[in-house]
Chains A and B, each alone.
Chain A
Amino acid sequence: MVKYNRFILKNGLRVLVHEAPETPMAVVNILYDVGARDEDPEQTGFAHLFEHLMFGGSLNIPQYDKPLQLVGGENNAFTSNDITNYYITLPAVNIETAFWLESDRMLSLAFGEKSLEVQRNVVCEEFKQRYLNQPYGDVWLKLRPLAYKKHPYRWATIGKELSHIENAKIEDVKAFFKKHYNPQNAILVVAGDVKTDEIKLLAEKWFEPIPSGESYQRNLPIEPEQQEARRETVYADVPTNSIYIAFHMHSRTDDRYYSADLISDLLSQGQSSRLYRRLLKEQKIFSEINAYVTGSIDAGLFVVEGKPLPEISMETAEEAIWDELEKMKTDFVLDYELEKVKNKIESTMVFSEMSILNKAMNLAYFELLGDAEQINTETEKYLTISLEDIKNFSADLFRKENSSTLIYLSQAHA
C-alpha cells in the first residue's frame, strides 16, 4: 500500500507526495507527457535527443549537473515511445535544490549550438552502441515498422535513422520544447523524507509562477486492424538464428491488458513457465526463449522471441512456438498455474515497494494513465482474471493474421 497526497497548482501542474521517513533521501520525479509517438515522422528521435538537451543549461542556471552534485544529488532520465521521465535522488535536507533546478528548466531552456552539436554526436554514438554495434541490436528498428504501419509506434525512441538526429536544427528543438514542456503536460512526484506541507510550499514557490503554456491535443493515427500475417527474413552477420513474433494487443488502460500480461507470465515467467520448461528443457529446441508485452499506452505488442539451438531448423522452431500458443487457445491452463502467476504478481509488487524511486515513478505513471490510486489497485485487477479470460484472450491474440514474424538467419547458416 503506497500512501500519497495529491494537489494541483494553478498552472495545471499535478503534484503527488509520498512521505517515506525511513530513508534520509528524497526523490523528485518529473514525467512529461511526451514520447517518440508525438514526433513528426520526418524528425524521429527528437523526444530522446531533447531529453539529452535538457541537461545543457536553463534560463538562469548555466549548468544543470554541477549544482546538484554539489549538494550530494544524482539524476538521470529516460525516454520511451510514450513518456519522457526525469528523476533526481538527493539527501532530503537539500530538496529545495531539486525544485530550483527542475522549475528553471521547465520555465525555459537555454542551450546553444555547441550543446546541440555535442549531444547530436552523443546520441549518434548511443545509436551505434545500442542498436548497430550489437548482434540483434537492430531488432526493434525492424520489428516496429513490420508490426505498425500507421501508428507512430512504427519507429523506435532512438529514431528511424541516424540522419534525423544529424539534421536536427535548433529552431525545431525549441519548437518541440514550447509544445510539450509546460506545467499542464507534466506530473511532479516527490517521495522520501519529506512532508506534504513543505512540498506544497516549495511547489507553489518554484513551479506555480511558470505560465501554464498551451495544452497539447494528441491526435495520433490509429493502427488499422492487421488483416494478414506479415513476415520478414534478415540474412545477417549474427552468431545464431533468432525469431521474433509480435501480436497486436490492447492498450495499457484496457482491462484486457492484464490478461495479456498474465499470458506472457504463464508462457515465460520463471523457470517453471511453459515455454522455458517445454521448449528449452524438454524438447531442446531453444537456448533462450521469452514472451513479454510492451505495455505501451496505445495498443501495444505481445512478443515471443527465441534463439533456436544450432541443429534446429527455423521451421521446427517456429512450429514449436505455435504449438504452445495453440494450446493456450484450445485448453484451459491449470488452476494451479494461474494461481502461481498471480502469486508472483503479488510478491513482485511488494518487492518493488522497497525503492522510493520505483514508487515515485509508478505514481507518476499511473497518474498519467488517469488515476494514481491504481498503484494500489493494480494487483486486484490481476487477481480477477479467470481461466476463461486467459483462453478467450489467447484465442483473440494468437492468430496468424495478427502476427508479424521477424527472422534472423545467421549468414553462416544461410
Chain B
Amino acid sequence: MLNRINPPAFHPIENINIINPDSIELTNGVKLFVFSAGEEDLVRMQWVFENADFQPTKPIINSALSAMLLEGTSKYSSAQIAEKIDFYGAYLFPEYSYDHTSLNLITLTKYLDKLLPFIIEILNDAIFPQQEIDTYKRNSKQALKISLEKNDYIARRQFNNALFGKSSYGYIQEANDFDQLNQDDLQSLFKEQIIPANCTLFVSGNISSTTLNYINNCIEDQWINKSVKSKVTIPVFKTLPPQQILIEKEKALQSAIRIGQLSIQRSHADFPTFQVLNATLGGYFGSRLMMNIREDKGYTYGIGSGLASMKYAGFFTISSEVGTAVCADTLKEIEFEINRLKTEKISEEELLLVKNYLLGSMLGSLENVFSHTDKFKQAYFSGLTLDYYDYYTQQVKDVTAEDLLVLANKYLDFDQMIRVIVGKI
C-alpha cells in the first residue's frame, strides 16, 4: 500500500554554480562581459549606461532620454528604425531604472549582422526629433493621467518621495514636467551619457567565437567616441521623519498600503541574512504576512515585503491592497508581525522552511543563460563579484534563530517607518 502521508525523501541543495563570464576591455572603452551557454541560436545584448546626475530643473530628462532613444538618427527616422527591428523579428527596447539606462537587443543569431551596425548607428547618432518629442509628451501625459487613478501607483511614488525627496529615486512626476522637454537638452544629455566610456555591455546566448569576433570588431570599429565619462555626484537624500501619510480617495474599494524605511544595500555583510528575515516576514507565499493577512483573514489578494538595493541607498518595504474596511486592522497586524520577529525566536521548523525555499528559489532563478547574466549584473553593479553568491548561500545555510532576532531588532522598527495609505482608513 502506497504511503501517501509521509513526504518522499528530501535532497538538500548543495551547489549553486553561476556561469563565469569572459571579460574583455574593448579599445573604445566598453567593458564587455560574455556569457555563452544554451542551444537556441539567439543572442541578447545589453548596453548598460550609468545615469547622469539628477537635475532638479529638468527632473524627467533621464527617463525621457531612455524612452526616446529609438526615435530617430540623422540617417533614419523613427519609423525606419521600427521597421528594421520588426522585420528581423527582433526585440530592441530601452529600459530606465534608478541607476541605469540600458538598451536591450534580443535576436536570432542569423540576423545579428543585419541589426548590429544599425544599432551602433543609433548609439552614435540619436537626434530626438522635435515631432517625436511632441508625441512622447502627448502620450506620456495621458498615460500619467491613467496611472494617477491607480492607488497602488500613487502609493509607490509617494512612498519613494518620502524616503528620497526630490532626487532620481524619489521625484514625483507632474504632467507639466513633460512640457519642458526639448531637443537641445536631450541631445546634450545623450552626448554626455550614451558613450563607450560609460558603457558596460553584456552579451549572452549561444555565442560562438565567430559571433564574438564579429561583435567585438563591429563595436570597436564603428562606435568610436573619445568622450570621457563625466563625474557623478553622490546624491544626498532628504528623508521625511517617520509618519503616516494618508491620501484619501472617496470612492476607493481598496486602499493601497506602502510601509517601510531606509535599509542596507547588497554590499552590506548582513544583506543575505536580512533576506532570510524578509522572506520570513513577507518574501514568499508562505510568509507570515501572507499567512496572517491573506490566508487567515482574507483581507487581501496579496501582501509582500522586499528589499531594494540601489547604487546609493537601500530600502525595505511592505506593500498590499486591502479592503477599505479592514485597512486599519491590516496595519495593526503588520505591526504585530514585525514586533513578533523582534521578540520571539523563529522555530527551527519555520527557519528550515525559509532557508530551503530561498536556496531552491536561487537555483530556480538560474534557468537559462540570460538569468545567469542577470545574477552577475546584480552583483556587479553592487560592486561585488560572483563570490557574493557563495557567501549568500553559506549565510543562508548558517543563519540561526538568534541571529534573526538580532537582525530584526537592528533593521526593522515599525515606529520609524513611513506609512503611506491611498484610499480610506
Contact = CB atoms under 8 A, between A and B. Distances in A.
Interface stretch (B6-14, B96-104, B306-314, B408-416): B6-14
B138 A125 contact: no
A100 B13 contact: no
Nearest to A76: B285
B252 to A, nearest CB: 7
Interface string B339-368: 000000000000011001101110110111
A117 interface: yes
B286 A65 contact: yes
A257 B345 CA distance: 58
Contacts of B40: 350-351, 353-354
A69 B142 contact: no
B363 A133 contact: no
A240 interface: yes
Given A25-B364, A74-B360, A272 B139 contact: no
Interface stretch (B25-33, B222-230, B259-267, B293-301): B293-301
A343 B83 contact: no
Contact of B10 (A70, A74, A354, A356): A70
Nearest to B150: A134
A6 interface: no
Find the residue from A124, A133, A270, A307 having the highest chain B CB count within 10 A: A133
Given A239-B149, A343-B87, A344-B89, A100 B7 contact: yes
Contact of B86 (A103, A117, A124, A269): A269
A405 B86 CA distance: 30
Contacts of B367: 23, 25, 354-356
Interface string B94-123: 000000000000111000000000000000
B112 to A, nearest CB: 12
B253 A133 contact: yes
A130 B152 CA distance: 12
Q: Is the interface of B mostly helix, strand, loop or mixed?
A: mixed
A331 to B, nearest CB: 19
Contact of B2 (A61, A70, A209): A209
A397 B107 CA distance: 33
B252 A133 contact: yes
Contacts of A240: 142, 145-146
A65 B285 contact: yes
Given A91-B13, A287-B143, A97 B106 contact: no
B360 A309 contact: no
B12 to A, nearest CB: 9
A222 interface: no
A261 interface: no
B79 interface: yes
A239 B146 contact: yes
B139 A280 contact: yes
Interface in A24-71: 24-25, 59-61, 65-67, 69-71
Given A91-B11, A271-B86, A344-B86, A71 B298 contact: no
Contact of A69 (B139, B148, B150, B357): B357
Nearest to B10: A71
A270 B85 contact: yes
A255 interface: no
A120 B299 CA distance: 10
Contact of B135 (A94, A206, A284, A347): A284
B79 A71 contact: no
B38 interface: yes
Interface string A192-212: 000000000000011001000
A171 to B, nearest CB: 21
Given A125-B323, A133-B151, A96 B8 contact: yes
Contacts of B107: 347
A104 B286 contact: no
B66 to A, nearest CB: 15
A272 B301 contact: no
Interface string B388-404: 00000000000000000
Contacts of A134: 149-150
B246 to A, nearest CB: 17
Contacts of B301: 122, 125-126, 129-130
Nearest to A22: B38
Contacts of B108: 346-347, 350
Given A65-B286, A350-B108, A117 B298 contact: yes
Interface residues of B, number: 72
A407 interface: no
A293 interface: no
Nearest to A339: B87
Contacts of B150: 134-135
Contacts of A239: 145-146, 148-149
Nearest to A103: B4
B11 A132 contact: no
Find the residue from A73, A94, A310 having the highest chain B CB count within 10 A: A94
A347 B89 contact: yes
Interface in B150-177: 150-151
A334 to B, nearest CB: 11
A119 B301 CA distance: 9
Contacts of A369: none
Nearest to A209: B2
B336 interface: no
A36 to B, nearest CB: 18
Given A72-B363, A270-B86, A272-B86, A135 B149 contact: yes
A343 B89 contact: yes
Contact of A272 (B2, B82, B296, B352): B82
Contacts of B9: 96
Contacts of A125: 254, 298-301, 321-323
A316 interface: no
A347 to B, nearest CB: 3
A126 B302 CA distance: 8
A74 B42 contact: no
Contacts of A59: 4
Interface string B27-58: 00000000001111110000000000000000
Nearest to A238: B149
Contacts of B370: 354
Contacts of A132: 253
B253 A128 contact: yes
A65 B366 CA distance: 22
A130 B300 CA distance: 12
Interface string A240-275: 100000000000000000000000000001111100
A139 B107 CA distance: 35
Nearest to A67: B7
Given A72-B360, A132-B253, A272-B86, 20 more contacts: A70-B7, A74-B284, A74-B285, A93-B11, A99-B8, A118-B295, A118-B298, A119-B298, A121-B297, A124-B298, A128-B253, A271-B78, A272-B79, A277-B82, A348-B89, A350-B41, A351-B42, A354-B368, A354-B370, A355-B367
13 contacts: A22-B39, A71-B360, A74-B360, A97-B10, A124-B298, A125-B300, A134-B150, A269-B86, A272-B85, A272-B87, A273-B86, A347-B88, A350-B108
- The 4 A-B residue pairs with the shortest CB-CB distance, nearest first, are A72-B360, A121-B298, A347-B89, A343-B89
